[in-house]
Amino acid sequence: MTISIWRYSHLALAVSSFVFIVLASLTGVILAFEPISNQVQPYRVKDFDEVSLAETIQHLKANYIEILNVDVDANGFVSAVVITESGDAETFYIDPRTGHKIGDIIEKAPLFQWTTNFHRSLFLKSTGRIFIGVTSFLLFLIAVSGTVLIVKRQRSFKRFFSKIVNENFSQYYHVVLGRLSLIPIVVITLTGVYLSLYRFDLLPKETLTHNVDFDAISETPKRELHNQPIFRDTKLSDVRSVEFPFSEFVEDCYTLQLQDREVLVNQYTGEILSESKYPFIALASRLSINLHTGQGSIIWALILAVACLNILFFVYSGFVMTFKRRKGKLKNKFKKDNAKFVILIGSENGSTLQYANMLHAQLLKLGESSFIAELNAFSTYKQCEHLVVITATYGQGEAPENANKFNSIFKTISSDHAYSFSVVGFGSLAYKDFCKYAFDVDTLLQSDPNAVQLLAPFTIHNKSFEAYTQWINLWSKKVGLQIKLDGDDVLQEKKRKRTFIVLEKTVASDNPDDTFTMVLKSKFGAPRFKSGDLLAIQPEAKSAERLYSVGKVNQTVFLSVKRQELGLCSNFLNNLKPNDVIKARLIKNKEFRISKRTKHVLMIANGTGIAPFVGMIHQSATNQNMQLYWGGRQPVSFDIYKPFIENSLNTGKLKKLEIAYSQNESTKVYVQHVLERDAEQVALVLKQKGVILICGSIAMQKDVLKVLETICDRYLEYPLSVYKSNGQLKLDCY
Ligand SMILES: Cc1cc2nc3c(=O)[nH]c(=O)nc-3n(C[C@H](O)[C@H](O)[C@H](O)COP(=O)(O)O)c2cc1C
């Protein structure tokens, strides 16, 4: 699959350096705890920022025979090197307000020592340091290329932090955590590069110089330390270290290292003999060390630790995404001009390509000549009788990466014979322009006088295998083939199944719409699931899993199924009897759940879409205002749901039930019409921070969304999209 130069760079950089990145990040996480463990020590005294240098030195002079040095570290711990009465030189932390010893100097723990050495050089001395420096730079480039990829994905810099739809765990968190840890990672990498350059003396050299006129130094006028302005007015928080005069000769002076400069001070008069600002390189090195190590700030150290953990996650999720994309390779047995079937794909992350490959494989299996290619590789196909375009949509209804040139190429190529075409759109209803690019391609193909539309564009939400199978059935009938997909085991991970016992069941033939309900109970233990989750059932070994939205009623699973005449799974389920046992697995569908704290809940369904709502109503809290709008064909259609719903109405759990019958003798009413009628109450639900849920057919969803959009325009402050991104509109349609 073609990938953009940015994605290629991002991947190539990651592949070439991931071993070092993993090692540096793992050790980075450990090292982030060193400044934290230091900072929690009790050596920073209260009011540290208020204490003056004069005060501390005076106390020290009163307590010890001689003082050689005073240091203040990034944590605000003050230490002194003193000569004690016994004549020994000792170094310890002091209380700067009294000059007394408050603790021994913290020794670097062996774990941190070992990890620091490994982190800096991998125990490979200078060679290792070079590796680590280069890795830091590569990681910086990975962060830059990643930023460009996010901007491209979001289609503008302004939308960099806009909401992202969670369609896939690795992809979603790669982007979300990437955005959050971008700044810390850039800081870690740039400071890492800087420190490496500094260590190898590759930065311009600037040294600190002092010009002292030793002939002019005088012992008078003598001043007490607390009267010398430099000591009196300098706070300890501005000091890094003080070197005391070596002897009593007037030429020996105090050397004060302050945050931004070094000052030499006459020990008798307090006169400033020389003052020199630190060169930029030295200041930048100090800042780099603090930023790179987290010294002096628990919060920053924690941010660094989290950023390092995120880097490890990026390595993992990046590889998962790459392997997924690489699964979708294109292999052809026939040349483009010898194939009867041509399948063109528009895919950015490879899933559409896997679906297209299934069709390609089946055609080859049936002995047909099939050719598969990316939309960008569009060309002439001399023997093509049936063209199939299977494409995803990206951005705001735009083409995916490997299809972005198709429109212009198509206009330059003209076919010389008649052919049929069908377009399948893969997309997500979470986006405003659902499958828009598929419709654009369909319109474009219609402009070719030789092209005949075999089927109207077919849209597939959330990579639904079920929907894809439906399209395969329709299309294969049209082209006179019998295609049966091998199942979606290509696409899904192996998951543990549960054993369920059929507790209750109606039969499809008793219902005018060939629909039935089932209540299942887990044979072993109570499964953890919520109404709105999905039950995946595989009717036969090697067959595809079918997904059903379910409701939770007293620990049982409630579902409703419409029997399809040739449907493998719906017939399999319909033939089950109470006490039969089936294997199935429950899948979380977090985006279609409601919280007990949501006061107003408006549920809209047609047909079997009522199933999750039966459970939601059953589990609702007493103060929840649950309203249900349901669309069915005729009054008897509702009979199978009556026992569940009427009971809820009687107990007051369901506050309102509105039913629309589309095939009632006198009137044809659809659920969207009833919503239109109750527009003001519908608007009130959103206004009062309630949630609207829709479950059922895609066609119903489309019509309902149109009505909701108009309601928002008419009665509310914001368009429907705002409520959707707030989580006030939840969809589960198929
Ligand atoms: C950044 C981004 C933007 C998307 N934009 C749309 C869109 O505008 N309309 C739509 O129907 N689907 C949109 N989708 C959903 C994809 O089309 C859908 O997930 C598709 O199955 C991905 O196929 P692929 O893995 O082959 O690239 C978008 C997905 C992403 C990640």
Q: Are 80 and 86 in contact (CB under 8 A)?
A: no
Query: Could you write out the DSSP letters of every residue in 309-324?
Result: HHHHHHHHHHHHHHHH
Rounded-to-integer distance, Cα 603 and Cα 619, Å: 14
Tokens of 314: 């990026």
pTM of the model: 0.68
The verdict on domain 330-490 having CATH code 3.40.50.720 is no
Ligand 1 center to 152 CA (angstroms): 13
Question: Is it the case that residue 417 has pLDDT exceeding 60?
Answer: yes
Rounded-to-integer distance, Cα 138 and Cα 189, Å: 8
Average pLDDT over residues 237-243: 96
Amino acid at 370: S
pLDDT value at position 338?
96
| Cβ(639) – ligand 1 distance below 6 Å | no
| Cβ(64) – ligand 1 distance below 6 Å | no
| Cβ(402) – ligand 1 distance below 6 Å | no
| Cβ(167) – ligand 1 distance below 6 Å | yes
pLDDT value at position 486?
67
Reported confidence tier of residue 350, pLDDT bands at 50, 70, 90: confident
Rg over alpha carbons for the chain, rounded to the nearest Å, is 36
Ligand 1 center to 689 CA (angstroms): 28
| Cβ(462) – ligand 1 distance below 6 Å | no
Rounded-to-integer distance, Cα 17 and Cα 136, Å: 9
Measured from the CA of 347, which atom of ligand 1 is nearest? Answer: 26
Ligand 1 center to 463 CA (angstroms): 10
| Cβ(252) – ligand 1 distance below 6 Å | no
Kindly report the number of other CB atoms within 10 A of residue 531's CB atom.
Answer: 25
Mutate to test the pocket of ligand 1, among 169, 349, 394, 488 (most ligand atoms within 8 A of CB): 394
Amino acid at 81: V
Rounded-to-integer distance, Cα 349 and Cα 491, Å: 13
pLDDT above 70 covers what percent of the chain? Answer: 98
Q: Are 488 and 465 in contact (CB under 8 A)?
A: yes
Of all protein residues, whose CA lies closest to atom 28 belonging to ligand 1? 394
More confident residue, 636 or 734: 636
| Cβ(606) – ligand 1 distance below 6 Å | no
Rounded-to-integer distance, Cα 472 and Cα 424, Å: 10
Ligand 1 center to 404 CA (angstroms): 14
Mutate to test the pocket of ligand 1, among 424, 428, 434, 468 (most ligand atoms within 8 A of CB): 428
Helix residue ranges per DSSP H, 206-276: 229-233
Ligand 1 center to 703 CA (angstroms): 22
More confident residue, 622 or 410: 410
- Residue-wise pLDDT tens digits, 177-218: 999 999 999 999 999 999 999 989 888 877 888 988 888 899
Question: Is it the case that residue 460 has pLDDT exceeding 70?
Answer: yes
Residues 6+ apart with CB under 8 A from 724: 430
- Residue-wise pLDDT tens digits, 41-90: 999 998 899 999 999 999 999 999 999 999 999 999 999 999 988 888 99
Kindly report the number of other CB atoms within 10 A of residue 728's CB atom.
Answer: 21
Ligand 1 center to 425 CA (angstroms): 10
Reported confidence tier of residue 136, pLDDT bands at 50, 70, 90: very high
Rounded-to-integer distance, Cα 272 and Cα 265, Å: 5
pLDDT value at position 566?
78
Of all protein residues, whose CA lies closest to atom 6 belonging to ligand 1? 394
- Residue-wise pLDDT tens digits, 333-343: 999 999 999 99
Query: What letters, b where the CB count within 10 A reaches 16 and e where it falls short, cover 664-702?
Result: eeeeebbbbbbbbebbeebbebbbeebbbbbbbbbebbe
Distance of alpha carbon 728 from its chain centroid, rounded? 21
| Cβ(398) – ligand 1 distance below 6 Å | no
Question: Is it the case that residue 137 has pLDDT exceeding 50?
Answer: yes
- Residue-wise pLDDT tens digits, 5-37: 899 999 999 999 999 999 999 999 999 999 999
Nearest to 512 by CA among 618, 614, 639: 639
Tell me the CB-side half-sphere exposure of residue 271, using CA atoms within 13 A: 17
Rounded-to-integer distance, Cα 343 and Cα 491, Å: 19
| Cβ(392) – ligand 1 distance below 6 Å | yes
Reported confidence tier of residue 489, pLDDT bands at 50, 70, 90: very low
pLDDT value at position 495?
61
| Cβ(347) – ligand 1 distance below 6 Å | yes
341-346 and 272-277: which strand pairing? unpaired
pLDDT value at position 490?
46
| Cβ(346) – ligand 1 distance below 6 Å | no
Rounded-to-integer distance, Cα 162 and Cα 327, Å: 30
CA distances in angstroms from 711 to 604, 719, 722, 726, 732, listed in the order given: 15, 9, 13, 17, 21
Check residue 505 and give left, alpha or beta (phi > 0: left; psi -120 to 50: alpha).
beta
Rounded-to-integer distance, Cα 471 and Cα 457, Å: 10
Q: In what order do the strands lie in the sheet with 261-265?
A: 101-104, 89-94, 78-83, 66-72, 239-243, 254-258, 261-265, 272-277
Query: Could you write out the DSSP letters of every residue in 611-633?
Result: HHHHHHHHH--TT-EEEEEEEES
pLDDT value at position 558?
96
∠420-426-428 over CA atoms, to 5°?
A: 150
Q: What is the DSSP letter of 99?
A: -
Rounded-to-integer distance, Cα 256 and Cα 262, Å: 6
Of all protein residues, whose CA lies closest to atom 4 belonging to ligand 1? 394
Question: Is it the case that residue 683 has pLDDT exceeding 90?
Answer: yes
Polymer length in residues for the chain: 734
Phi and psi torsions of 269, nearest 5°: -100, -20
pLDDT value at position 165?
80
pLDDT value at position 493?
46
Check residue 296 and give left, alpha or beta (phi > 0: left; psi -120 to 50: alpha).
left
pLDDT value at position 496?
74
Measured from the CA of 459, which atom of ligand 1 is nearest? Answer: 11
| Cβ(394) – ligand 1 distance below 6 Å | yes
| Cβ(400) – ligand 1 distance below 6 Å | yes
Of all protein residues, whose CA lies closest to atom 5 belonging to ligand 1? 394
Average pLDDT over residues 217-234: 93
- Residue-wise pLDDT tens digits, 609-631: 999 999 999 999 989 999 999 99
Q: Are 399 and 364 in contact (CB under 8 A)?
A: no
pLDDT value at position 734?
72
Ligand 1 center to 377 CA (angstroms): 20
Ligand 1 center to 348 CA (angstroms): 8
CA dihedral (76, 82, 86, 92) in degrees, to 10, reads 20
Question: Is it the case that residue 94 has pLDDT exceeding 80?
Answer: yes
Of all protein residues, whose CA lies closest to atom 2 belonging to ligand 1? 394
Q: How is the chain split among helix, strand and coil, in percent rounded to 5?
A: 45, 20, 35
| Cβ(351) – ligand 1 distance below 6 Å | yes
The verdict on domain 498-733 having CATH code 3.40.50.80 is yes
Q: What ipTM describes this predicted complex?
A: 0.98
Rounded-to-integer distance, Cα 572 and Cα 15, Å: 47
Reported confidence tier of residue 487, pLDDT bands at 50, 70, 90: low
Average pLDDT over residues 351-364: 93
Tokens of 405: 């040139």
Average pLDDT over residues 477-489: 79
Give, to the nearest 10 degrees, the angle between helix 298-327 and helix 169-180: 150
Ligand 1 center to 392 CA (angstroms): 6
Phi and psi torsions of 565, nearest 5°: -55, -45
Measured from the CA of 154, which atom of ligand 1 is nearest? Answer: 1
Mutate to test the pocket of ligand 1, among 345, 431, 464 (most ligand atoms within 8 A of CB): 431
Ligand 1 center to 330 CA (angstroms): 20
- Residue-wise pLDDT tens digits, 540-595: 876 667 889 999 998 999 999 999 887 888 999 999 999 999 999 998 888 888 88
Ligand 1 center to 351 CA (angstroms): 10
∠430-432-438 over CA atoms, to 5°?
A: 95
